[in-house]
A and B are shown apart, each in its own frame.
Chain A
Amino acid sequence: MSEEKLTAPEHKLNNRDIWRMFMRLNTMRITLNYETLQGVGFMRAIAPALAKIYPDKKDLSEAMKRHLVFYNSHVNFDAVILGLSAAMEETTTPDEKDGINPLKTGLMGPLAGLGDSLIKFTWLPIVGSIGASIAFGGSIFGPILMFILYNVINMGARYYAVSFGYKKGIDFLNNNEQNDVIQRISTMANVVGLMVVGALISTVIKVKTPLKIVVHSNVSNKVGGNVISLQTMFDKIMPGLLSLLITVLVYYILKKTNGKHAAMLIIAMMVVVVGLTYFKIL
């Protein structure tokens, strides 16, 4: 207990304990299984904190068993829940311990959704497309930039979130005004992500058709007088029109099948495109 002077007196866990939770949080997903999903991982991650909070062996055993239940959320927000659970274990009286798991269960759904929409469907596509557009030009700088941008959020936010969840989490939860923040950030992330997706449609998908239309000219009555490239026509209507049409088509196919058959669709597209290339349509 000599390290206690490092943090404010009301916290039993110091920065070193938070660091240990963070390190174990990183390997939490490894123990994912079909029975309790990340339950084993969560218990393992919070165990060092529990050992410090409960000097008595019987209490410690109880606490460890308490966290060995079904659990699943998003990795970057596991950190908040982990910190928060540690704070709850520390501050609650023995009678109130039953409230810890309902809190975890109540948070893991919404936070998983927020994690997906912020990290997986907004930040990752943004850094991925920035990196990819540089890499298409043949520069190693693309993946390096993507790695840095992605991991500043991925690792940085994860460490910060453990500490935040532990020190401020309970105040945050009790304040309903701020509870709304999750919803608001999620909406904003959604809009940013969608605009990036729209931009990606025109930059990434490159479809060109070599088809040409022979226009019969009535005046000279000569066949093959005017040859119009179909692609030039499309470009005049709208640059990237074919890309947009294909994406919308794929979107509706995927939506009809609930996105379960993405891999099958890719294989089908290959076959179709090879066929179309054979007939010189693409």
Chain B
Amino acid sequence: MKVFILTALAFLLGIDNVSTKMFRRPLLIAPIVGIILGNLQAGLIIGATLEVMWMGIGDVGAYMAPDIITGTMISTSLAIMGNTSGNISTMVATAITLAVPTSILAQQLLVLIETINCSLNGWAKRLADNADVKGTFWLTWPPAFLYGFACAFPTFLALQFGAGAIQQAINDLPKFIINGLSTAGSIIPSVGIALLMMTMLKKGELWMFIILGFVLSSYLKLDILPITLIALVFAFLYERATREPSAKAQVSPKTQVDNSNSAEEDDEEDYDL
């Protein structure tokens, strides 16, 4: 029964992921799975871990990122269903291990749908030729169903046939592997953070803000919210200090991208503490 509820949830989340985008993060999905499976605590911890792990990931342009929605659904459900002992750190280790391969496999389905979607162009063209505005309403329904299915089908298969295997594997694996995966869970978020840094470090000098945030948090033990407020002040000052003369204002925002070349030379001196 729970499998069917989770499959239905996956169907809805699969559609939400490409439309309203209200629930498309692990931290928002995993607790719902946790509630359905009667283990909210595990859902929260797994969700928080996966949230940080996938933090910098996302579709950029036509590049399709791993399908973290399906990945989160499957890995969280299996981690909770497969661990009958109720040890949360084992569940987190299981979830992280499963999240990566499931996300990558599910991503292939999304690529397939985007290829199938090319047929929509012909349909839309015919509607446009006939000036059929009412007909355009239906354009999104077949692909929406496909997207929901692309999330629900792997989830159903994994939950129906995978839970027993996961339970077996956890019981049979040596203890150090589970412990190691559990440790990996607290290191892997560095990938998400590094991905964020890659897109944000447009100039070498921007390293100093990473160091500032790090020091505020590690030495002064401030929470994220006060650090964000302090960051706003620094952002304002930095923007004022580096603002280009208004004569250059008409240059397109693309100039920003060009600066990225200088990043490599400046990097070394700034992070080396």
By a beta-carbon cutoff of 8 Å, the part of chain A in contact with chain B is 26-37, 39-41, 43-44, 47-48, 50-51, 57-58, 60-61, 64-65, 68, 72, 75, 109-110, 112-114, 116-117, 120-121, 124-126, 128-133, 135-136, 138-140, 142-143, 146-147, 150-151, 154-155, 176-177, 179-180, 182-184, 186-207, 238-240, 243-244, 246-248, 250-251, 253-255, 259, 262-263, 265-267, 269-270, 273-278, 282
Inter-subunit contact A274/B181 (CB<8 Å): yes
Q: Determine which residue in A32, A35, A179 has the highest number of CB atoms from chain B within 10 A of its CB, and name it.
A: A32
- Min CB distance A47 to B, Å, is 5
Inter-subunit contact B273/A140 (CB<8 Å): no
Inter-subunit contact B51/A132 (CB<8 Å): yes
- CB neighbours of A247 from chain B (8 A): 190, 193-194, 197
- CB neighbours of B124 from chain A (8 A): 39-40, 43-44, 68
- Min CB distance B191 to A, Å, is 5
Contact residue range for chain B? Answer: 35 or more
**Known contacts A138-B41, A186-B253, A187-B239; A195 and B231 CB within 8 A of each other:** yes
**Known contacts A72-B61, A198-B212; A277 and B139 CB within 8 A of each other:** no
Inter-subunit contact B211/A198 (CB<8 Å): yes
Distance, CA A230 to CA B229, complexed state (A): 35
Inter-subunit contact A270/B25 (CB<8 Å): no
Distance, CA A113 to CA B200, complexed state (A): 11
Top 5 nearest A-B pairs (CB, nearest first) are A198-B213, A274-B180, A33-B117, A277-B180, A195-B213
Inter-subunit contact A143/B47 (CB<8 Å): yes
Inter-subunit contact A40/B27 (CB<8 Å): no
Interface segment out of the listed B77-85, B151-159, B160-168, B242-250: B242-250
By a beta-carbon cutoff of 8 Å, the part of chain B in contact with chain A is 15, 18-23, 25, 27-28, 31, 40-41, 44-45, 47-49, 51-53, 55-58, 60-62, 66, 96-97, 100-101, 103-104, 114-118, 120-121, 124-125, 127-131, 133, 136-137, 139-140, 143-144, 147, 176-177, 179-181, 183-184, 186-191, 193-202, 206, 209-219, 222-225, 227-228, 230-232, 234-236, 238-239, 242-243, 246, 249-250, 252-254, 256-257, 271, 273
- CB neighbours of A278 from chain B (8 A): 176, 180
Distance, CA A163 to CA B219, complexed state (A): 45
**Known contacts A128-B51, A128-B55, A270-B97; A40 and B120 CB within 8 A of each other:** yes
- CB neighbours of B121 from chain A (8 A): 33, 35-36, 39-40, 68
**Known contacts A188-B236, A263-B66; A142 and B27 CB within 8 A of each other:** yes
- Min CB distance A56 to B, Å, is 9
Inter-subunit contact A60/B133 (CB<8 Å): yes
Inter-subunit contact A180/B213 (CB<8 Å): no
Inter-subunit contact B139/A44 (CB<8 Å): yes
Inter-subunit contact B225/A138 (CB<8 Å): no
**Known contacts A40-B124, A143-B27; A34 and B214 CB within 8 A of each other:** no
- Pick the contact of B133: A47, A255, A267 (CB < 8 A): A47
- Pick the contact of A131: B51, B190, B202 (CB < 8 A): B51
- Pick the contact of A200: B22, B193, B212, B246 (CB < 8 A): B193
Provide the main secondary structure of the chain A interface.
helix
Of the A-B pairs whose beta carbons lie under 8 Å apart in the complex, a sample of 28, sorted by A's number, is: A30-B18, A32-B18, A64-B127, A65-B125, A68-B124, A116-B58, A128-B25, A128-B51, A136-B48, A138-B41, A140-B44, A190-B200, A191-B234, A194-B200, A196-B224, A197-B197, A198-B213, A198-B214, A198-B217, A200-B213, A201-B213, A205-B187, A205-B189, A244-B214, A251-B198, A262-B57, A269-B188, A277-B176
- CB neighbours of A203 from chain B (8 A): 217, 224
Known A-B contacts: A116-B60, A198-B213. Give 7 more (CB < 8 A).
Answer: A43-B136, A128-B27, A133-B224, A155-B20, A182-B253, A251-B194, A266-B191
Inter-subunit contact B28/A147 (CB<8 Å): yes
Closest residue of chain B to A151, judged by CB? B22
Inter-subunit contact B181/A61 (CB<8 Å): no
- Pick the contact of A34: B55, B114, B225 (CB < 8 A): B114
Inter-subunit contact B115/A33 (CB<8 Å): yes
Distance, CA A65 to CA B133, complexed state (A): 12
- CB neighbours of B184 from chain A (8 A): 269-270, 273-274
Closest residue of chain A to B219, judged by CB? A239
Inter-subunit contact B196/A125 (CB<8 Å): yes
- Min CB distance A187 to B, Å, is 5
Inter-subunit contact A177/B19 (CB<8 Å): no
- CB neighbours of A109 from chain B (8 A): 254
- CB neighbours of B140 from chain A (8 A): 27, 30-31, 41, 44
- CB neighbours of B252 from chain A (8 A): 110
Distance, CA A150 to CA B22, complexed state (A): 8
- Min CB distance A186 to B, Å, is 7
- Min CB distance A180 to B, Å, is 4
- CB neighbours of B188 from chain A (8 A): 266, 269-270
**Known contacts A44-B136, A154-B22; A254 and B191 CB within 8 A of each other:** yes
- CB neighbours of A68 from chain B (8 A): 121, 124-125, 128
